[in-house]
Amino acid sequence: MAQLTAGVGCSHVPAIGIAMDQGITEQPYWVPAFEGFEFSRKWMKDNKPDVIFLVYNDHCTAFDASCIPTFALGCAAEYHPADEGWGPRPVPVVKGHQRLSSHIAQSVILDEFDLTIMNEMEVDHGLTVPMSIMFGEIAQDDDWPCLVVPLCVNVVQYPPPTGNRCFQLGKAIRRAIDSYDEDLNVMIFGTGGMSHQLQAERAGLINADWDKRFLDMMTEDPIAASQITHEEYLRETGSEGIEMVMWHVMRGALNDKVTEVHRHYHVPASNTAVGHIILENHE
């Protein structure tokens, strides 16, 4: 049977991917950010997943204002990198696991979470940057070390889903993974955050105390974390801090008790805080 072995929380700041793509990670600005990923890359090699269930948001790349699904599940054989701004990153095409995607779609929808099914979808920095953070540089004509099932969450157009809804969806995803009949090491990533606001008067807002408490709650009190309101994210962490609701999908899928094996928090990268945590899911 498939086993959910770990959860990873991870910012997906596009400039992190660009720093890797441009080969400037040794510059003093970037060194402290990347130092915190060294453990993670070794840990990924030691714990090699077969599939990553990757929760992220699209930033007007695959979807524009004409269509905004709240939860969109990737069911494709492959997903091509794309991005606005700097354009598509020179990273490998992301390969899917269609049979697992179909199983999750059936299990989760019959469990009364109405997902949008994406048989074609491009993936932006929200997905490719966490992959690069965790796996390091991989040549474009090479393969990522594992398959990916993407779940794209709307956090761009109000109203995004609540933290609680995301947490409960995580539980449904866990039931789906637990009932999948192939022996697979599955990990789940929740991406986005931490505190950030990219525009208007409060652009550049960082609330490190709040972010660190959020990381504590991810490990120790995920139910309380899932009850954080949209207003609190907005007030305390800036307009794009709402991306953190996606971490609750990851945490909801894990056991109540987990082992935090790594944490990294660094300011700044671009205009934002970088937050990262690895939670092992032991029986």
Give the residue numbers marked as catalytic.
Answer: 125, 196
**Angle at CA of residue 50, ends 48 and 52, nearest 5°:** 95
160 binds ligand DHB (CB under 6 A): no
Q: How far apart are CA 70 and CA 281, in angstroms?
A: 27
Map residues 202-241 to x or -, x wherever contact with ligand DHB holds by CB under 6 A.
----------------------------------------
Pick 13 or 217: Cβ nearer ligand DHB: 13
Instruction: Kindly tell me which residue out of 3, 164, 255, 270 binds ligand DHB, with binding defined by CB under 6 A.
Output: 270
Tell the smallest beta-carbon distance from residue 12 to ligand DHB (Å): 5
Pick 32 or 42: Cβ nearer ligand DHB: 32
**Nearest partner of 186 among 239, 214, 148, judged by Cα:** 148
Tell the smallest beta-carbon distance from residue 165 to ligand DHB (Å): 20
Pick 7 or 192: Cβ nearer ligand DHB: 192
**Residue for token pair 């997905």:** 127
Cβ atoms of residues 136 and 25 within 8 Å: no
Q: Distance of CA 75 to CAs 95, 151, 183, Å?
A: 11, 9, 20
Tell the smallest beta-carbon distance from residue 46 to ligand DHB (Å): 28
* Residues between 12 and 71 with contacts to ligand DHB, criterion CB under 6 A: 12-15, 59
Instruction: Kindly tell me which residue out of 165, 196, 248, 266 binds ligand DHB, with binding defined by CB under 6 A.
Output: 196
Cβ atoms of residues 194 and 214 within 8 Å: yes
Q: How far apart are CA 181 and CA 45, in angstroms?
A: 25
266 binds ligand DHB (CB under 6 A): no
192 binds ligand DHB (CB under 6 A): yes
**Residue for token pair 């929200």:** 126
Task: Let me know how many helices (H) and strands (E) the chain has, helices first.
Answer: 9, 10
89 binds ligand DHB (CB under 6 A): no
Pick 150 or 192: Cβ nearer ligand DHB: 192
Residues 6 or more apart whose CB falls under 8 angstroms from that of 252 comprise 166, 167, 168, 169, 170, 171, 173, 174, 222, 226
Q: What are phi and psi of 118, to 5 degrees?
A: -110, 105
Cβ atoms of residues 112 and 61 within 8 Å: no
Judged by CB under 6 A, the number of residues near ligand DHB is 12
Instruction: Kindly tell me which residue out of 272, 273, 278, 281 binds ligand DHB, with binding defined by CB under 6 A.
Output: 272
Pick 168 or 191: Cβ nearer ligand DHB: 191
Q: Where along the sequence are the contacts to ligand DHB (CB under 6 A)?
A: 12-15, 59, 192, 196, 198, 243, 270-272
